[in-house]
Amino acid sequence: MSLIDVENLTLQFKTDEGLITAVDNVSFSIAPGEVMGLVGESGSGKSVTAKSLMKLNPGNAVYAPESRITLHLDNGPVDVMSLKRPRDMEVVRGGSVSMIFQEPMASFAPAMTIGSQMVEQLLIHTDMSKKQARELSIEMLDRVGISDASTRFGQYAFEMSGGMRQRAMIAMALSTKPKLLIADEPTTALDVTIQAQVIDLMKDLVTDFGMGIIFITHDLGVVAQTADKVAVMYLGKMIEQGPVREVIRNPYHPYTQGLIDALPQLDDLDKPLMPVPGDIPSPLERPEGCVFHTRCGKIIGDVCRTVAPGWSDTGENHRTACHLCHEGQSA
């Protein structure tokens, strides 16, 4: 059984300039012990999707009525959309789902030491003693590669470098051993060496506790090394999803192919870097038909400009939303 099911998630933001569609009819599931990579250009809706799972989007967010998010916990399923009061949210935010945010400074209270925040969180969400909580916190800090962890335990967030703060946040998010971890660009600001350590740590937790992870990143190398499956987003739409090997080796959607071509690869230094041409359109001016048609090098014709492509099966558990696949051609 899956750990979380997201069905037809659609979310708009009310702004002065009008309604912004940030997420448009997105569906996916994650099983226990499964890691899903969520990739796409900045502004494609990755963070908003992730925050929806804990209903953490700001007050101007409007969820469409057909949006459905079901979290399967030990005590039965939880309908996340129906949770309104902060007290109800405790089931979701209370340690069984953890999120690592893109902005690490925001997740630590400035006036408390890193250690006391970690301990406090463990005391609320587990039945550990203070001593156990302290020991576990120091161990977690050590495991994310923070040297001299017992000293760092007593420091404030502002006393740490950016990379160290990011790791402390990862340690805190992992210490409650959540069922589902949502990690929003957790390693983008880290050195490759520390990134490799953090990835190993996450993999251990997946094996040891069957934790499920949504891993948001724009680094396809990181996805290749961590994820079981990948979902690609563009302008709020999910445009391709499937097993990691399939999607990276045989991408069907022209946008996914573009992302892979844009990546600097070490085994061929002569290969020119090929950006996806053009800029991502403003979410206020979403293109009709296929949202990618303004930048697509393989556009077929009017059908792309007027009709939004539905899903086509492009392999086992692999599907793509592009008219090229509809016509039975490989893109």
Partner 1 sequence: MSTENLIETKDLSVGFPVGGKIFNKSVLKAVNDVSLSIPRGSFFGVVGESGSGKTTFGRALLNAAPITGGSAHYEDGDVSYDLGKLTGSELKEYRRRAQLIFQDPYAALSPRMTVRDIIAEPLEVVGLCNSREEVDERVREIANLCRLNLEHLRRFPHAFSGGQRQRISIARALVSKPRFVVADESVAALDVSIQADILNLLKSLQDEMGLTYLFISHDLSVVAHTCDHVAVMYLGQIMESAPTRQLFRSPRHPYTKALFSAIPSLDPDDHGKAQKLEGEIPSPTNRPTGCQFHTRCPFAIDLCKREEPRMETCEAEHSVTCHRWRELQLAD
Ligand X SMILES: Nc1ncnc2c1ncn2[C@@H]1O[C@H](COP(=O)(O)OP(=O)(O)O)[C@@H](O)[C@H]1O
Question: Which residues are near Mg ion by CB under 5 A?
Answer: 47
Burial class (CB in 10 A: 0-12, 13-18, 19+), 300: middle
Residues in region 171-190 near partner 1 by CB under 8 A:
188-190
Selected from 118, 230, 232, 322, the binder of ligand SF4 by CB under 6 A is: 322
**Is residue 43 a contact point for ligand X (CB under 6 A)?**
yes
**What CA–CA distances, in Å, run from 200 to 193, 301, 315?**
11, 46, 29
Is the CB of residue 114 less than 8 Å from the CB of residue 152? yes
Query: Binding partner of residue 20 among Mg ion, partner 1, ligand X, none, CB under 5 to 8 Å per kind?
Result: ligand X
Query: 3-class DSSP state for residue 78?
Result: strand
Selected from 1, 16, 17, 58, the binder of ligand X by CB under 6 A is: 58
Contacts 24+ apart (CB under 8 A), 85-91: 89/54, 89/55
> What minimum distance in Å lies between the beta carbon of 58 and ligand X?
5
Is the CB of residue 274 less than 8 Å from the CB of residue 261? yes
From 12-20, 58-66, 75-83, 215-223, span contacting partner 1 (CB under 8 A): 215-223
**Is residue 258 a contact point for partner 1 (CB under 8 A)?**
yes
**Is residue 292 a contact point for ligand SF4 (CB under 6 A)?**
yes
Q: How many chain residues interact with ligand X (CB under 6 A)?
A: 15
Amino acid at 75: N
Selected from 104, 178, 254, 283, the binder of ligand SF4 by CB under 6 A is: 254
**Is residue 232 a contact point for ligand SF4 (CB under 6 A)?**
no
> What minimum distance in Å lies between the beta carbon of 292 and ligand SF4?
5
Strand-pair category, 35-39 with 180-184: unpaired
Q: 78 vs 168, which CB is nearer to partner 1?
A: 168
**Is residue 118 a contact point for ligand SF4 (CB under 6 A)?**
no
Query: 3-class DSSP state for residue 99?
Result: strand
CB count in 10 Å sphere of residue 148: 9
**Is residue 145 a contact point for ligand X (CB under 6 A)?**
no
Q: State the DSSP string of 251-276.
A: --SHHHHHHHHTS--TT-TTSPP-PP
**Is residue 299 a contact point for ligand SF4 (CB under 6 A)?**
yes
Q: 111 vs 266, which CB is nearer to partner 1?
A: 266
Residues in region 250-309 near ligand X by CB under 6 A:
283
**Is residue 37 a contact point for ligand X (CB under 6 A)?**
no
The Cα 81–Cα 85 span in angstroms is: 11
Selected from 6, 22, 99, 141, the binder of ligand X by CB under 6 A is: 22
Contacts 24+ apart (CB under 8 A), 70-78: 70/4, 70/5, 70/7, 71/3, 71/4, 71/96, 71/97, 71/180, 72/1, 72/2, 72/3, 72/4, 72/5, 73/179
How many helices and strands (H and E) does the chain possess?
A: 12, 13
Selected from 3, 6, 9, 13, the binder of ligand X by CB under 6 A is: 13
Task: Name the residues that contact partner 1, by CB under 8 A.
Answer: 41-43, 145-147, 161-163, 188-197, 199-200, 218-222, 224-225, 244-245, 248, 258-260, 262-266, 269, 272-276, 279-280
Query: What residues line the site for ligand X (CB under 6 A)?
Result: 13, 15, 20, 22, 40, 42-48, 58, 60, 283
